[in-house]
């Protein structure tokens, strides 16, 4: 059984390797401000960043401010976001969230986890994305790639995203939290692919504890 100290030591080696593999990763959701990133992140649920980026230019031209979005017609909004999937839930969440920001925060997207997760339709993942890239607050964003690969690397056995986040916070240095998000997402899309992991070419294979697991 690997101790917490041993996990921390191995995690540092993983981080060093990830830095070599993916030195220039960044948030792939295109955005100009907190409002745009907030909406884009809601749209990204069960959808690719590429698809979201195809949708948002026209969306933000139609609704350039959070005040505009807060008063948007829902059917009109759905017309812009339909191709991202789950458009009924996403449209409801976007409208409710933007109304919350306008009514409770004078139109300024708040900058704390507690305030962000108090917004309608905003969970820890969306909040942490905004904290990372708008307010430069270290946070671990647990999407499917981050959770799956963290388990594969033996850093946690948890499957609940919040529990994965808390487990990783105890292991990873805070200064590496933001990069970890992007590097594991990139690794999950290119090498450690869920249905066909390419362990034979993976530069992290010597740091994995055993057979591939989801």
What residues are annotated to the active site?
A: 125, 143
Using CB atoms within 10 Å of the CB of residue 40, give its burial: 0 to 12 exposed, 13 to 18 middle, 19+ buried: buried
Distance CA 129, CA 124 (A): 9
Contact 150, 168 (CB under 8 A): yes
DSSP collapsed to 3 states, 37-106: HHHHHHHCCCCCHHHHHHHHHHHHHHCCCHHHHHCCCHHHHHHHHHHHCCHHHHHHHHHHHHHHHHHHHC
């Amino acid at each position: 059984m690997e101790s917490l100290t041993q996990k921390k030591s191995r995690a540092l080696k993983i981080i060093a390797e990830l830095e070599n593999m993916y030195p220039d990763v960044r948030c792939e959701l295109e955005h100009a401000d907190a409002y745009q990133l907030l909406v884009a992140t809601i749209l990204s649920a069960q959808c690719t960043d590429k698809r979201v980026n195809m949708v948002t230019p026209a969306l933000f031209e139609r609704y350039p401010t959070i005040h505009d979005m807060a008063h948007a017609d829902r059917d009109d909004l759905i017309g812009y976001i339909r191709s991202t999937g789950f458009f009924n839930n996403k449209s409801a969440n976007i409208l409710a969230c933007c109304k919350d920001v306008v009514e409770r925060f004078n139109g300024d997207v708040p900058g704390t986890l507690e305030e962000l997760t108090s917004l309608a339709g905003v969970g820890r993942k969306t909040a942490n994305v905004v904290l990372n890239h708008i307010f430069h607050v270290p946070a671990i964003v647990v999407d499917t790639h981050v959770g799956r690969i963290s388990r594969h690397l033996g850093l946690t056995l948890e499957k609940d995203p919040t529990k994965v986040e808390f487990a990783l916070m105890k292991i990873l240095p805070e200064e590496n939290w933001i990069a970890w998000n992007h590097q594991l997402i990139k690794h999950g899309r290119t090498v450690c692919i869920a249905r066909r992991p390419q362990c034979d070419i993976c530069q992290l294979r010597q740091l994995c504890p055993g057979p591939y697991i989801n």
